[in-house]
């Protein structure tokens, strides 16, 4: 099973659009790039999505390959496949982390989400979301708080998890 991203971090964005990828996140990109080895630059895919998206998504090579495999299973020409191809292929760019641990975010992507001098990375399992810090607080923070408020006091969010399939003996 591929490693997962965990946590969040706020980083500086320099005038050239370079952001330092925190070491804990770089390790996941390295681990989940089948072609990566010491001395090489880990590869990733930046998905910038639809016009209304206010964040970027940074996928490991393994995660994007899994999504590509799932898209390949969909009916060719279906509206659902066209939508996913548009987002995951047409609104995406390949990128790499430089030897100094930085990622260059192209200007059009920085402008799309309003990034200036700070970026907020937040883990989403097998990918990272990149936000303008203020936008994250407005959009995601408020949405999560509203969802939490909809449950009874003392609610355990882990109860939302589906049950795991039974383990096979000897596995």
Any idea what DSSP says for residue 48? -
126 is in which domain, residue-wise? 8-148
pLDDT in tens, 115-152: 999 999 999 999 999 999 999 988 887 777 888 888 88
CB of 67 within 8 A of CB of 88? Answer: yes
Instruction: Assign 126 to helix, strand or coil.
Output: coil
Closest CA to 17 of 107, 148, 150, 80: 107
C-alpha 122/C-alpha 102 separation (Å) is 17
C-alpha 50/C-alpha 53 separation (Å) is 6
User: Taking the model in full, what pTM does it have?
Assistant: 0.87
C-alpha 131/C-alpha 119 separation (Å) is 6
Whether 75 is in a domain gets the answer yes
Whether 28 is in a domain gets the answer yes
Q: Residue 1 — pLDDT band, cuts 50, 70, 90?
A: very low
CATH assignment at residue 40: 3.40.1550.20
pLDDT in tens, 14-72: 999 999 999 999 999 999 999 998 888 999 999 999 999 999 999 999 999 999 999 99
Whether 164 is in a domain gets the answer no
Whether 83 is in a domain gets the answer yes
C-alpha 105/C-alpha 110 separation (Å) is 6
Whether 2 is in a domain gets the answer no
pLDDT in tens, 67-113: 999 999 999 999 999 999 999 999 999 999 999 999 999 999 999 99
Whether 166 is in a domain gets the answer no
């Amino acid at each position: 099973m591929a490693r997962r991203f965990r946590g969040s971090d706020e980083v500086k964005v320099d005038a050239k659009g370079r952001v330092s990828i925190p070491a804990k996140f770089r390790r996941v990109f390295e681990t989940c790039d089948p072609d990566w080895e010491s001395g090489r630059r880990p590869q990733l895919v930046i998905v910038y999505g639809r016009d209304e998206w206010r964040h970027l998504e940074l996928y490991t090579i393994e995660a994007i390959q899994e999504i590509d495999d799932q898209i390949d299973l969909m009916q060719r020409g279906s509206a659902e496949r066209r939508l996913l191809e548009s987002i995951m292929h047409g609104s995406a760019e390949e990128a790499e982390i430089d030897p100094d641990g930085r990622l260059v975010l192209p200007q059009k992507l920085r402008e799309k989400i309003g990034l200036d001098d700070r970026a907020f990375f937040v883990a989403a399992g097998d990918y990272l979301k990149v936000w303008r810090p203020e936008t994250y607080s407005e959009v995601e923070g408020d949405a999560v708080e509203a969802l939490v408020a909809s449950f009874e006091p003392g609610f355990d969010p882990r109860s939302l998890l589906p049950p795991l399939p039974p383990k096979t003996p000897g596995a």
